[in-house]
Amino acid sequence: MQKTLFISDLHLTPTRPDITDCFMRFMQNEAIECDALYVLGDLFDFWIGDDDDSPFARQIKQAFKHLTDQGIPCYFTCGNRDFLVGKRFAKQTGITLLPDEHVVDLYGRRAVVLHGDTLCTQDERYLEFRAKVHQPWLQRLFKCLPMFVRRKLVARIQSDIRQDKQQKSMDIMDVTPSEVVNVMHRHQVDLMIHGHTHRPNIHQNTDSSQTRIVLGDWFEQGSVLIVKHNDFQLEQREFFH
């Protein structure tokens, strides 16, 4: 049976081996049988650079390499937590890096795929922050720092901005409907697939016949979108403790 799989928002980290185990099982048993795997951002809790050669980083890279070696194409869109995944990671794993917005053909139906953070246009403070950390010169500078300094800096910034996020309303952190329409219109598609908001759902707009599929996060269970011909299923995968 032909199927394409989509995942996002795993937030993999060495401190959550239950998530990593579920991901490894998914890669070995499920992804190995699909036509293509799309990872739509936030695979990692934070990615500090492609030169991360820790056992944890190696384990994840190896899982992708195994898949792509078997001829399964893997596509990767960067999220707001792993925007430093780059060419070296792609080369080491065999994945294909996608731009922020990308159109895919899913068994004859075209869909725009993206992480989803850029759809939240009301979250102005986040978009300002995003513009800052996406500056190439700043990224180059960050990658020159020793690993332990990068880790410390990230932990520091994460704890500094946690309060800022807690003060935001749920509405501000959801997608802006008009931006969803804009992006679909720009790409001339009636289907959008994204993650980021952690609000898994299949939104069907009956007026415009547009569909927006939101992937789920991997905090308490795994979450996978399975696409077959004209069929979309959001499924969960259990964690074992």
Binding site residue list for substrate: 80-81, 123, 165, 168, 196
Nearer to ligand LP5, 4 or 117 (CB): 117
120 makes contact with ligand LP5 (CB under 6 A)? yes
Encode burial over 134-167: b for 16+ CB neighbours within 10 A, e otherwise.
Answer: eeeeeeeebeeeeeeebeeebeeeeeeeeeeeee
Give the range of 24-32, 86-94, 121-129, 199-207 binding ligand LP5 by CB under 6 A.
121-129
118 makes contact with Mn ion (CB under 5 A)? no
133 makes contact with ligand LP5 (CB under 6 A)? yes
82 makes contact with Mn ion (CB under 5 A)? no
132 makes contact with ligand LP5 (CB under 6 A)? yes
Please state the closest distance from residue 219 (CB atom) to ligand LP5, in A.
Answer: 11
Task: For residue 7, give the 3-state DSSP assignment.
Answer: strand
The contact mask relative to ligand LP5 for 148-167 (x = CB under 6 A, - = no) is: ------x--xx--x--xx--
Nearer to Mn ion, 34 or 75 (CB): 75
Encode burial over 1-26: b for 16+ CB neighbours within 10 A, e otherwise.
Answer: eebbbbbbbbbbeeebeebbebbebb
Give the range of 19-27, 48-56, 194-202, 215-223 binding Mn ion by CB under 5 A.
194-202
Token pair of 91 as six digits: 């080369």
CB count, 10 Å around CB of 107? 13
Please state the closest distance from residue 184 (CB atom) to ligand LP5, in A.
Answer: 20
Alpha-carbon span 31 to 75, nearest angstrom: 12
For residue 150, give Cα distances in angstroms to 134, 147, 154, 165.
Answer: 16, 5, 6, 22
Alpha-carbon span 37 to 163, nearest angstrom: 35
**Where on the chain is the footprint of ligand LP5 (CB under 6 A)?**
46, 80-81, 117, 120, 123, 125-126, 129, 132-133, 138-139, 142, 154, 157-158, 161, 164-165, 168, 173
